[in-house]
Amino acid sequence: MKRQQGFTLIELIIVIVVLGILAVTAAPQFINFSSDARESTVKGAQASIQGAMQLVYARSLVNGTEDEGTSTVTTEGGVVDTVYGYPAAAVNGIDRAAGLGTDWSRYDSGTTPATNSASEVAFAPTGQTPDFSGADSCHVLYTQAADEDTPATVVVNVAGC
């Protein structure tokens, strides 16, 4: 008499079902779509702020105000306060120039949590609280120009997204 080797059809189906259940429960741990979406959103805000910063600086160059400590330029969004040609870290500065809207929370030296300097402003997605003392945060930090030779900077932190 021959002895059969291998799996029956029922055993094969049970193994496939068990593997499917394991894949469904383990996949969210490896594929974190919401974190990737928040990270992309923050990087998009960084690009928006950088673009607005460069447009305002170009207007300042045209107006001849790029070397002035404080000035203003007129954009489509309204009058933007500038510091050495770049938007000021203020509501009438980078906020107005970038126009991020209500999806973003604004943090500065007078908010909780506070940024490290009055010349900085941070933007985080609404619902995210940035941590300026550590690396585990999800925000965009704008630092206004310090002088004629030190331009404004935009730094993104997505470690906590």
Q: What is the pLDDT of residue 34?
A: 77
Q: Are 31 and 37 in contact (CB under 8 A)?
A: no
Task: Tell me the CA end-to-end span of the chain in Å, nearest whole number.
Answer: 64
**What letter would DSSP give residue 150?**
B
Encode the chain (161 residues) as per-residue pLDDT tens digits.
567 677 788 888 999 999 999 888 877 767 777 788 888 999 999 999 999 999 999 999 999 998 998 999 998 888 999 999 999 998 889 988 998 888 898 888 777 777 777 888 999 988 888 887 777 788 999 999 999 999 999 999 988 88
**Chain Cα centroid distance, residue 49:** 10
Q: What is the pLDDT of residue 91?
A: 86
Q: Are 65 and 86 in contact (CB under 8 A)?
A: no
Q: What is the pLDDT of residue 2?
A: 67
